[in-house]
Amino acid sequence: MFKKNFTNNSILILTSLIPLSIIVGASVSAINIFLISLLFLFFFINKKFFFILKDNTVLCFLIIYFYLFFNSFISIDAEVGIYRNIGFIRFLLLFLAINFFFSNYKNPNLIFKSWMFVILTVVFDSFIEIIFGKNILGYGIGYGNINGNRIVSFFKDESIVASFINGFVFILIGFLFNNYEKKIFKEKFLIYLIVLLFLFCVVFTGERSNTIKFIFGLFIFFSLNHHIKFKFKLLTIFFTILLLSITYMKSDWVKYRYGSTLFSQFTTEEKRAHYMKHNVYFYIYKSGFEVFKNHPYFGVGNKNYRVETCKASNFIEKPIYFCVTHPHQIYIELLSEHGLFGSILLLSILFILMFKNLKLIILSKNLIQIGSLIYLMVNFVPLIPGGAFFNDYNQTLFWLNLSIFYASNPKTNIFNKFNKHID
C-alpha cells in the first residue's frame, strides 16, 4: 500500500509540474517526463502489471514504438533520429502512469488546478508584455526577440506562447465547465471571462496558425458542450465575433498580423498569385513533397528531413529543396520522413486511438475528455503550418493530451478493466 501511495503522490506532483517544467526549459521538461516514466516502470515491474500489455490501446503504442525503431535503420542517417525514436517509450510509460493515477487517486483535479494556475500566470504575463513591451522578467520587444513583435512571455526568444496555451487550454476549459449547472452565477461568469482571456491572449501572440487552431477548437468545444443551450451558443459565438472584430479594427498589431500580412494577400487575383508563389511555407511544402517523391515508400527517416534538404550536393542537383529543420506541416512531414508506409501506419493508429470510442465519449459528456480530444484533432487540420510532430515539445503536449483523454473517463481508462488484478 505504501508503494502504491508513494507512486500516486509522486505522479501527482510530477504531472502537476509538467507545464512549469516546459517553461523552464526543454531539458527540465524531458527530465520530468523521464522521472514519471521511470517511477512507473519500477512500480510496473514490481507489481507485475504485464497483463496491461494485452490492452489494444497499449498494443497500438507498441506498434508505433517498434515502427519507429525500424525507421531508425532505414533512415538515410540513422544516428540523427535514433535517440528520438528509442526515447518514444517514455510516452507509453507516461500514458500508463497517468491512467493508473486517475484510476486510483481520489482527487485528480489537483493536477488541473495546478495547470490552471501556471497557464493563467502565462496569460497575465503575456498581457503585461502586450501592454508594456516586456514581460515581468524583461523578455519581449527590444529584449533579443528575434521573432518580430510576437509575444514570448517566459519563453524568452521563442514564439510558442499560443502553442503552449493550446496544449493545456481545452482540457482546462473542460475542467471549468464540468459541474457547470451546479455553479452559481458568479462562477459561471468567471468561466466565460477566463475563456475570453485565453482567446485574446492567443490572438495577441500573433501566432496565426495556433490562433486558427484555437478558434476552431473552441467552436467545436462549444458545439459539444451539453451545458449550454443552443440559443446561448449562438449568442456566445456572435458576441465573440463582435469582440474580435472590434479588436481587429482598433488594434494596429492585430490588423498587421491577421490583415496586411495574411487576408490582404487574397484580395485580388494578382496578390493571391504572388502570395502563392513567394510565400515561404509554399517553398517548404514543395520541398517536403519533393523529398517524398524521391523517397516514396519509407521516407528519409524521422528527423532526417534536414539531412536530406541541407546536403551541399542537393543545392544544385535538387533546387526545389528548401533547407530547414522540418517541413512545417504534419502531413508533409510524415510523407517526407516516413513515406507512404509509415504515414499510413502512423495516421491509422493515431486516428484509431482518437476516434474508436467517439460515440461513448460524446454520450459520456465528459468535458475534460472532449477538451483533450479537440486538442488532438486540431493537430491534424490540413495545410496549416505547425511544429515538427516528433520533436520533444510537441510530443509532450500531444501524448499528454492523449493520456488525459483516456485517463479522465472511467469508461476508457485502460486500468479500470483490470482492477481485479490491481491491489
Which residues are 143's β-sheet partners? 140
Query: For position 280, what pLDDT does the model report?
Result: 79
Q: Distance (Å, rounded) from C-alpha 6 to C-alpha 294?
A: 52
Query: For position 147, what pLDDT does the model report?
Result: 47
Q: What contacts 256, CB < 8 A, 6 or more positions away? A: none
**Model pLDDT for residues 278-316, shown as the tens digit of each residue:** 677 888 888 889 999 999 999 999 999 988 888 866 666
User: Cβ distance 131 to 97 under 8 Å?
Assistant: no
Positions in the chain whose pLDDT score sits under 70: 1-4, 141-149, 260-269, 271-278, 312-317, 419-423
Query: For position 262, what pLDDT does the model report?
Result: 60
Q: Distance (Å, rounded) from C-alpha 422 to C-alpha 416?
A: 9
Cell numbers for 44, please give them: 510496473
What length is written for the chain? 423
Q: Distance (Å, rounded) from C-alpha 147 to C-alpha 135?
A: 15
Q: Distance (Å, rounded) from C-alpha 257 to C-alpha 259?
A: 6
User: Cβ distance 287 to 309 under 8 Å?
Assistant: yes
